[in-house]
Structure formats: C-alpha cells, structure tokens
Copies of this chain bind each other. A is one copy, B any other.
Amino acid sequence: MQERVTGSRRGAAPVFSSDRSTVPVHAVVLGIDPSLRGTGWGVIRIERGGSTALGHGTIKCPATWARSRCLVKIAAEIRAAIREHQPTVCAVEGLFFAQNLQTAMIMGEARGASLVAVGEAGLEIFEIAPRKVKLAVVGYGAAQKLAVARMVQRLLKLAETPSPDAADALALAIAFAQETGRFGLGGPKRV
C-alpha cells in the first residue's frame, strides 16, 4: 500500500506562522529532505544569473542507532548547517509517500527533529509538494531520483552529482527560489 500523506494545503504552504502576508525576499534558502537514517540538506544562494550551492550533505545514522539518538544528531547537524550558511528560509516536502502508519510516524519524527532546529533558529518554513519540486527542477513531475540529482548538479554547476538525499534537499531549495519568482516561474502561493 502506497498512500499519500498530504498536508492540509498544497503548493508552497507556510508551516511557520508569520505576520507578513506576502513571501519576503530571501537570498539564502535551506532545503531539507528529512528521514531517520539519511536526512538530506542543502543551502543555496539565489543570484541573478543562477543560484549557487553554499553547502549540502546527508545526515547519516546507522541502522544500529536507537531512534532518538538519530533525532538528536539530525537536530544538531541542521543547527550546524544553519550556523555556517545563515539561511533565512527553509523548504521541506509538503506531501510525501509513506508505505504505512509506522513509516509515516518515523518520517514524522525526523521531520519534527529537523523543524525544531529550523524553527528555533527563527527561519520561516514552507512546504512544497514533491511533484512541484520535480517540475521546477526537471520539468517533469514524475522524474526519477537520478534525473533530479543530475539536473541539480547542472543548475548549481557542481563538480559532482550530489548524493540522492542531498540532491532532493537542494531541489527543494531551487523550487522555493523559483516559486518566489527570483529565478524563473511565477510568484509564490501562500495558501
């Protein structure tokens, strides 16, 4: 059984409240693709001629580690990435696949650990549906993981193809940049 876990809203939906009614201009964007054993993260700087990757990586937690040990590491490494690269906004997946309730709960734990670190640092958080991310990066909503990673590499002029988790996180950041209109497509929807 593969089902969609969908938030109450679609598109780039804010999950962190803000007094502002429009999306402010952000120059440095953190994308996060949370999962217990391999959370991907990536930070880009939005520039006129195309964005630059400031950093990216995968937070790996061995299968032998207890869940909460992973959660502590995820929060710590997200905090470190924020300290180093100083993003002002964060994009996470707003709609994702989970095979069953247990998987959804465990993915939720990884998201919770990530979002605590991001929220405590004062970043605004937006959700973007995976299909929108693929559309923004590859131009095709059902693109394969490798196609996303290669396109991310090309768009950000990286020397090597990023790991799949880091590529997904960078793709989220790129999609956010596009949605906010600094990089191509139309304006963002705050729904």
Residues of chain A having any CB pair with chain B under 8 Å: 3-7, 14-17, 64-69, 71-72, 74-75, 98, 100-102, 104-113, 115-120, 125
Known A3-B101, A5-B101, A7-B102; contact A67-B108, beta-carbon cutoff 8 A: no
Using known A-B contacts A115-B71, A119-B72, determine if residue A14 contacts B66 with beta carbons closer than 8 Å. Answer: yes
Q: Which of A7, A105, A110, A112 has the most CB of B within 10 A?
A: A112
Interface contact A102-B16, CB-CB below 8 Å = no
| Binding site secondary structure of chain A | helix
How many monomers of this protein are in the complex?
Answer: 2
Q: How far is the CB of A93 from chain B (nearest CB, A)?
A: 11
A68 surroundings in chain B (CB, below 8 A) = 15-16, 115-116, 118-119, 125
- Picked from B14, B69, B109, the residue with its CB within 8 Å of the CB of A108 is B109
Beta-carbon nearest neighbor of A95 in chain B: B102
- Bound Cα distance from A4 to B105, whole angstroms: 11
**CB distance A71 to B108 under 8 Å?**
no
How far is the CB of A35 from the nearest CB of chain B, in Å? 12
Q: Evaluate contact between B71 and A4: CB separation under 8 angstroms.
A: no
Tell me which of B16, B65, B112 contacts A109 (CB under 8 A): B112
Known A67-B115, A69-B119, A72-B120; contact A98-B109, beta-carbon cutoff 8 A: no
CB proximity of A116 to chain B, nearest CB, Å:
5
Q: A91: shortest Cβ distance to chain B, in Å? A: 12
A105 and B107 form a contact (CB under 8 A): yes
- Asked whether, in the complex, the Cβ of B5 is within 8 Å of the Cβ of A69, the reply is no
The contact of A17 among B7, B65, B101, B110, by CB within 8 Å, is B65
Which of B64, B101, B111, B118 meets A4, CB within 8 Å? B101
A145 to B65, CA, bound (A): 34
Residues of B close to A75: CB separation below 8 A:
116, 120
